[in-house]
Amino acid sequence: MKKYLLILLFSLMPVFSYAGEAKDMAEDPVLEKRMIGLAEKLRCLVCQNESLASSHAELAEDLRREVREQMKLGKSDQEIIDYLVARYGDFVLYDPPVKKTTLLLWYGPFALLLIGGGVLVYQLRKRKGQIAEPELSAEEAQRAAALLNEPADTPNQPKDPQA
C-alpha cells in the first residue's frame, strides 16, 4: 500500500511543480499572451538561437518580466521593442531592420539571383551563336528534296515503327 502511495505521490510531482507557473499566467492571460507573442520575435542574448519566449536563461526571465511590466504601463509593442534595441542593439530582433549595414543581408540573395540569371542568359546567347545552322552541300540538298518528294507511305509500310 505504502509503495502505491509513493508511486502516486511521485507521479503527481510534475503537477505540483507546474503550479507556480500556471498561477503566474492566470494573473492576466491576455497580457501574458501578448507578452509571449512579442517575445517570440525577440532573441535571447544568452542562448542566441532561442527566442525570448522559449528561453530558460535567467536574463530571458528578467526581460520577460520587464516586457510584462511595460505592457502593464500601457506601452505599445513598438515602444518596448525600441527599449530593448536601445540596450541590446538590433541583435535582439529576429527581423533585422533594413539599414546600411544590413543591405547585403536583405538584398544580397536577390543580387546573386540577378547575377546568376545574367550569366545564364549570356551563356545561352553565346552558345546559340556558336551552333551554326548546318549547311547542306548540293548533293545533300538534292537527296533531301528527293526524299521529300517521295509519294506518301505505302499501306504496308507503317508510319510509326512502333505501331
- Residues near another protein (CB under 8 A), total: 15
Please tell me the distance from the alpha carbon of residue 56 to that of residue 39, in angstroms, as a whole number: 13
Does position 39 bind another protein by CB under 8 A? no
Stretch of 1-9, 16-24, 27-35, 57-65 contacting another protein, by CB under 8 A: 57-65
Beta-carbon contacts of residue 32 (< 8 Å; ≥ 6 apart):
24, 25, 68
Between 40 and 61, CB nearer to another protein: 61
Q: Is 67 exposed, middle or buried (0-12, 13-18, 19+ CB in 10 A)?
A: buried
Question: Least distance to another protein from the beta carbon of 89, Å?
Answer: 4
Does position 85 bind another protein by CB under 8 A? yes
Question: Least distance to another protein from the beta carbon of 148, Å?
Answer: 41
Between 24 and 90, CB nearer to another protein: 90
Does position 91 bind another protein by CB under 8 A? yes
Rounded to 10°, the helix 58-72/77-88 angle is 140
- Say which DSSP state 135 is in: P
Between 18 and 91, CB nearer to another protein: 91
Among positions 35, 63, 71, 80, the unique one binding another protein when judged by CB under 8 A: 63
Residues 59, 45 contacting (CB under 8 angstroms): yes
Cβ density class 69-104: b for 16+ within 10 Å, e for less: ebbeeeeeeeebbeebeeeeeeebeeeeeeeeeeee
Among positions 32, 66, 77, 81, the unique one binding another protein when judged by CB under 8 A: 66
Does position 89 bind another protein by CB under 8 A? yes
List residues binding another protein (CB under 8 A): 45-46, 48, 58-59, 62-63, 66, 85-91
